[in-house]
């Protein structure tokens, strides 16, 4: 008998759905049958325009989805951005901009969706963290601080809001997205840096947004009902390597 995941009749909210990982997650949840309500600061096809750092906009979006769809079962909090300013050079404004987007907005989205997820009976929150939650690179402060804190948010929501709501995290490694290309573009030869990076991975490739989407499909399904409070590292084996040469 084939094993299939069917998310038909489920309504999923995905933030940052206009690009990269968020777009891949939205596409894969749709392929699994879910009705996806995407939002992003950049408007896209069937994507509502929402700045996730603006709590009023976030609450209005969630109320609108609940009113139109009657329910929310799955929330994937993906919107985020690199703030790589360095520990010495970061201003307080850099710190705040990073925390607002890469930490506070995830908590505010969870709060906005709490009642609807409880009513669902099988509510799931998936928070997109980063491999920077577990190890980092010089200069990536304060982004890594927010991503590390998200692992704590996942734990707290899992223990405080379970069993009605199951919360998990995904920490992607290098995923081929416009956001990641910005990182490669910061090197004198972006192509050389990309090839060097690929070669540092035991799987000899970068991840794709759809691969992270497939993890979301699984984690949102009843097959993952024993998964809670953990942030899963999906990094192509990069962190298994102790030394680069
Ligand atoms: P991306 O830049 O391609 O996509 C991010 C999306 O979030 C964009 O569509 C952007 O408009 C949206 N966004 C940014 N600020 C927003 C705001 N205030 N309100 C609403 N939407 C906003 O980036 P990518 O690479 O797809 O990253 C997505 C998430 O995955 C981020 O949280 C990032 O930190 C995380 N991540 C990405 C990795 C990668 O290798 N690409 C690795 C680890 C984590």
For ligand 1, say whether the CB of 236 is within 6 Å of any of its atoms: no
Average pLDDT of the residues of the chain: 97
Centroid of ligand 1 to alpha carbon of 104 (angstroms): 15
**Is residue 1 scored above 80 in pLDDT?**
no
How does pLDDT run across 186-210, given as a tens digit for each residue?
999 999 999 999 999 999 999 999 9
Decide whether any atom of ligand 1 lies within 6 Å of the 78 Cβ.
yes
Q: What is the pLDDT of residues 125-165, one digit of tens each?
A: 999 999 999 999 999 999 999 999 999 999 999 999 999 99
Q: What is the pTM of this model?
A: 0.98
| 11-172+208-234, CATH topology level | Rossmann fold (3.40.50)
Assign 150 to helix, strand or coil: helix
Query: Distance from the CA of 102 to the center of ligand 1, in angstroms?
Result: 9
CB of 42 shorter than 6 A to ligand 1: yes
CA of 3 from ligand 1 middle (Å) equals 31
Distance 79 CA to ligand 1 centre (A): 5
pLDDT tens-digit map of 110-121: 999 999 999 999
Whether residue 237 is predicted with pLDDT greater than 80 in this model: the reply is: yes
């Amino acid at each position: 008998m084939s094993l299939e995941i069917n998310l038909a009749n489920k309504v999923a909210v995905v933030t940052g759905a206009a690009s990269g990982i968020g777009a891949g997650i939205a596409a894969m949840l749709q392929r699994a049958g879910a009705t996806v309500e995407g939002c992003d600061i950049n408007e896209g096809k069937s994507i509502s325009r929402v700045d996730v750092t603006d709590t009023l906009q976030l609450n209005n979006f969630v109320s609108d989805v609940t009113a139109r769809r009657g329910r929310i079962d799955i929330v994937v909090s993906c919107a985020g951005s690199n703030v790589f300013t360095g520990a010495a050079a970061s201003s307080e404004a850099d710190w705040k901009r990073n925390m607002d987007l890469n930490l506070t907005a995830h908590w505010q989205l969870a709060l906005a969706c709490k009642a609807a997820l409880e009513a669902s009976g099988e509510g799931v929150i998936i928070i997109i963290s980063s491999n920077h939650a577990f190890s980092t690179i010089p200069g990536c402060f304060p982004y890594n601080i927010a991503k590390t804190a998200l692992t704590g948010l996942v734990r707290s929501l899992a223990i405080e809001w379970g069993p009605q709501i199951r919360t998990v995290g995904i920490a992607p490694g290098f995923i081929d997205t416009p956001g990641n290309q910005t990182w490669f573009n910061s090197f004198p030869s972006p192509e050389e840096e990309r090839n060097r990076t690929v070669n540092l991975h035991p799987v000899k490739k970068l991840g794709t947004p759809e691969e992270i989407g497939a993890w979301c499909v699984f984690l949102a399904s009843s097959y993952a009902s024993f998964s809670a409070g953990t942030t899963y590292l999906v990094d192509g084996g990069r962190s298994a390597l102790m030394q680069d040469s």
